[in-house]
Amino acid sequence: MDPRKVFLIELHEIIKDYSEIRNQLVDPSEDNIIWDEFKLSKEEVNALKKYNFDDVALSAIEKTVRDTILGAFHDAFALLDAVADPNIVEVDKTWLGLALSERELNEEEENEEFLHDEIYGAYWDWLEQRNKDK
């Protein structure tokens, strides 16, 4: 199967898995969030505990989350494909996007940075950009 198709199919599975948040809503905890920056406060946990979510409400919430995640990936890919321009970072020249390509067996770039590692660190850069004009 075409590697791009494999990636996109797997992406839909990841989106589905991450949208299934009913356990976090039914049994909220400060520990349900992995990354410290997004940990729920005691007040947020208590607010969620006040709700008695039924299966229909949980299904609606999960569909909304899945749609939102899919939309986020769509917009990120539009930025990669250069059919959208950066919104908060000023670039010096025309935005040409980025290319992701299939690797060859045993192909490895020296000192290569991986996007899955960089995404968390980029959060602080994003915050800085968001607060730059405020």
Summarised one tens digit per residue, pLDDT across range 12-42 is 999 999 999 999 999 999 888 888 889 999 9
pTM: 0.84
- Pseudo-torsion of CA 67, 68, 74, 76, nearest 10°? -160
| φ/ψ of residue 105, rounded to 5 | -55, 135
- Residue 65: CB atoms within 10 A of its CB come to 15
* Chain centroid, CA 131 distance in Å: 21
pLDDT higher than threshold 90 for residue 63: yes
Q: Indicate the DSSP class of residue 40.
A: P
